[in-house]
Amino acid sequence: MTYLLRRLAFYLFTAWAALTINFFIPRMIPGDPVKSLISRYQGQLSTDAIKSLYVLFGLDSHDSIWDQYVDYWKQLFHGDLGLSFTAFPAPVSDMIGDALPWTLALVGITTLVSFALGTGLGVLAGWRRGSWMDGLLPATTFLSSVPYFWLGLVAIAVLAGPGSFFPSSGGYEPGLVPALDTIFLGSAVQHSLLPAATILISSMSGWILSMRNMMVTVAAEDYITVAHAKGLPERRVALNYAARNALLPNVAGFALSLGFIVGGTLLVEIVFSYPGLGFLLFRAVGAKDYPLMQGIFLVITFSVLVANLLADVAYLLLDPRTRKEG
Amino acid sequence: MSEPVLEIRKLCVDYGLGDEAVHAVRDVDLTLHRGEVLGLAGESGSGKSTLAYGLTRLLPPPGVISGGEVIYHPVDGPPVDVLSLSPARLRDFRWAETSIVFQGAMNSLNPVHKVSTQLLDVIRAHEPGTTRAARLARARDLLRLVGIAADRLDSYPHQLSGGMRQRVMIAMALALEPQVVIMDEPTTALDVVMQRQILGQLAELRERLGFAVLFITHDLSLLVEFSDRIAIMYGGRIVEEAPAGELYRRALHPYTDGLLHSFPALRGPRRELTGIPGSPPDLRAMPTGCAFHPRCPRAFTPCDAELPLLGPPGDDDPGRAVACWLHPAAAAVPR
């Protein structure tokens, strides 16, 4: 328990550091949002308009940096991440709120499925070492080294196109109103098939490889020989003795990848113009939309931290050796 | 002497296949009688552990059994050849009839499961009819048998000391009251005090439960006092076999003699410590004739040309066998 509290304190500190950095970085970048708006409207803004913009963005005050910092924290606790420049005056929190479910659904589900499938196949391949499954390993190595945006591009070129079942971009049929009905959900699923498949194919092979290798390592341990000598059923030796131990390193990797779900598989979302967080970040960077970028980074930071915390808890549950004290 | 419980006949174990194969165990004949302690000693690489893995069919690849038989005599029922058991029969045979205590006391227990889980699962696998409460009671008794408090059942392996872990393994080995317990250097990783304690306990348990022990070690001094009979292995073959006391008093094979002179006697007359010059043979390039002849202080004409076979020595010694040209009655056996 003390261990978990210590970890929690550590993550709180990390979160504070990340937020503080998030506060200072935009202030160190030359220029400000109003100037970039001015340049966007190419001098068509009146002085009054400019002045009111400064007020709107909260850049009019000549508060000390400390006061600004305190305000920043106050805003954060109200869930206020500021206003977007590009979709002005939409609040950043709303934009993120719109994009997040798409990413969570697509990348979240594919990550879970790919971990479960990959680990399962890895256990099989590692346990039946020397069988035909070893023949699949070069293929998985190849697939795991293929960047998935490239796989996505190939998938679009080959499978999508006019008249194809697979749409090449977007999250749902243009013209549909997002609602929880069958037509919209069906369209969303149809749009997610290709991106999901590309993510699955390229990320699953990594899990297969690492799990298989851990299985092979663990299978040489003495306690596996003992388990065989005990005359336990093959399945029990494979799952309770070998896989149970081989899983430990993979769990850490899985928790990390959970953290990156929110960041979205940026490139896949770009390739498929998928309305998730990754695509939003891409557009924010393109438009120099600092508040939006800041907000997205914040969300990603938090999800990575939470995922790490989950990894710690999972480890604590799975490996008794980490539970040092009662 | 009582009836045999485990007979090893002409067992050969290779690592690898074809011409590249290394013959780690060759033509080993060994009989374990009911309730006795048979010591198996030899240098590292002499094939002791390979023999143990071979006769339980636990050889990791690329090890293969290339010949021979391992006949097990159950208490009731006809003898069975362990090497030709079907996988399901083999699983039933393992642990229930022949259990093993391995060398690595530290790594023999699964680190992520409690001691109780690992004790109970073997009982459940072999006696699926028992209730959990009955199994738990048995596990408690087993731990008490080896002198560990029953509340240790809830411990994880990393919470136990090395000696405790090995005692847990011994308790586990006795869980199904097997006829044969194979011990592969069970005390090597422990300090001498712990070694003593565990061996004493083991002798006591054997007295009480009456199982036979195949005790494998490189430490001949341990065997001399602990076992009934001793077999000496060199280069994958048994080179001498004799009752422990006789072997200690009068070794026939020069290699045994060398082994006996590499540790000091605590009682009795002082002996000179000599050791054995040279190093163990390379299994990939075994010397011709007797494998020991390049290191043997008493090698003579036939030693480097012809292989002496294991057999009773010329003089009137029942229950002894040796493979050495110095005792030609044995060597005369082939043909």
Share of chain B above pLDDT 70, in %: 96
Closest Cα of chain A to B218: distance in Å?
A: 20
Residue B197 has pLDDT above 70, yes or no: yes
At residue A299, the 3 state secondary structure works out as helix
Task: Say how many CB pairs under 8 Å bridge A and B.
Answer: 78
> Is position B87 within any domain?
yes
- Å from A305 to nearest chain B CA? 26
Which residues of chain B lie closer than 8 angstroms to A221, CB-CB? 107
Query: Given 3-state DSSP classes, what are the helix, strand and coil percentages for chain B, each rounded to the nearest 5?
Result: 35, 20, 45
B96 and A231 within 8 Å at the Cβ level: the answer is yes
- Does B278 reside within a domain? yes
Interface test with A, best of B59, B112, B118, B154 (most A CBs within 10 A): B112
User: What's the burial of A302, exposed, middle or buried (CB within 10 Å: 0-12/13-18/19+)?
Assistant: middle
Which is higher by pLDDT, B301 or B99? B99
User: Is any Cβ of chain A less than 8 angstroms from the Cβ of B237?
Assistant: no
Please state, in angstroms and rounded to a whole number, the distance separating the CA atoms of residues A199 and A114. 8
Report pLDDT digits (tens) over A71-112. 888 888 887 777 777 776 778 888 888 888 888 888 888 889
Does residue B335 surpass a pLDDT of 50?
Answer: no
Which structural domain range is residue B305 located in? 4-97+178-331
- B121 inside domain: no
Q: What is the dihedral of CA A261, A262, A263, A267, to 10 degrees?
A: 60
B126 and A227 in contact by Cβ < 8 A? Answer: no
Average of pLDDT values for B261-268? Answer: 76
CB atoms A230 and B172 under 8 Å: yes
Cβ–Cβ below 8 Å for B99 and A240: no
Answer whether A148's CB lies under 8 Å from A268's CB. Answer: yes
Q: Where are the beta strands (DSSP E) in chain B?
A: 4-15, 22-33, 37-41, 63-72, 80-81, 98-101, 180-184, 212-217, 229-234, 237-243, 321-322
Over the stretch A253-306, which tens digit does the pLDDT of each residue have? 888 788 777 665 778 888 888 888 888 888 888 777 778 888 888 888 888 888
CB within 8 Å: B121 and A236: yes
Q: Are B92 and A210 in contact (CB under 8 A)?
A: no
In the structure, what pLDDT confidence band is assigned to residue A43 with cuts at 50, 70 and 90?
Answer: low
Nearest CA in chain A to B119: A230
Q: Which residues of A touch B (CB under 8 A)?
A: 130, 220-223, 225-233, 236, 240-241, 244-245, 248, 318-321
Q: Does some domain include residue B106?
A: no
Query: Does residue B131 sit within a domain?
Result: no
Q: What is the structure's pLDDT at A326?
A: 43
Domain total in chain B: 1
Residue closest to B283 by CA, chosen among B43, B29, B10, B41: B43
The answer to whether the Cβ–Cβ distance between B60 and A320 falls below 8 Å is no
**CA dist list (Å): B215 to A117, A222, B36, B38:** 45, 18, 10, 6
Chain B neighbors of A320, CB-CB under 8 A:
111-112, 114, 156, 158
What is the value of pTM for the model shown?
0.80
Q: In what order do the strands lie in the sheet with B229-234?
A: B98-101, B180-184, B212-217, B37-41, B229-234, B237-243, B321-322
Alpha helices (H) along B187-333: 192-209, 220-226, 244-249, 254-260, 328-331
Residue A164 has pLDDT above 60, yes or no: yes
CA distance A226 to chain B (A): 6
Q: Could you read off the pLDDT of A172-222 as tens digits, one per residue?
A: 777 677 777 777 888 888 888 888 888 888 888 888 889 999 999 998 888
CA A139-A144-A148 angle, to 5 degrees, is: 120
Q: Does B162 touch chain A (CB under 8 A)?
A: no
What's the rounded Cα separation, in Å, for the pair B71 and B68? 10
Nearest to B95 among A130, A221, A229 (CB): A229
The CATH code of the domain that includes B9 is 3.40.50.300
| Token pair of B241 as six digits | 């076999």
How high is the mean pLDDT of chain A?
82
Mean pLDDT of all residues in B27-55: 90
Lowest-confidence region among A169-183, B98-112, B230-244, B290-304? A169-183
Which one has a higher pLDDT value, A35 or B208?
B208
Which of B61, B99, B108 shows the shortest C-beta gap to A222?
Answer: B108
Would you say residue B70 has pLDDT above 90? Answer: yes
| Average pLDDT value for residue range A24-30 | 75
pLDDT band of residue A48 (cuts 50, 70, 90) is confident
Domains of chain A and any CATH numbers? 2-77 (no CATH), 92-322 (1.10.3720.10)
pLDDT at residue A263, rounded to an integer: 65
For the residues A13-37, what does the mean pLDDT come to? 80
- Segment B160-168 shows an average pLDDT of 88
pLDDT value at position B116? 92
- Residue B137 lies inside a defined structural domain of this protein: no
HSE (side-chain half, CA atoms, 13 Å) at B285: 1
Do the Cβ atoms of A231 and B95 come within 8 Å? yes
Q: Is B280's Cβ below 8 Å from some Cβ in A?
A: no
Q: Which of B238-252, B273-287, B306-320 has the highest mean pLDDT?
A: B238-252
Q: Is residue B269 part of a domain?
A: yes
> Given an 8 Å threshold on Cβ–Cβ distance, is A230 in contact with B125?
yes
The residue behind tokens 């929690």 is A8
Mean of pLDDT values over B60-67: 87
Q: What is the pLDDT of residue A264?
A: 57
Residue B268 maps to a domain? yes
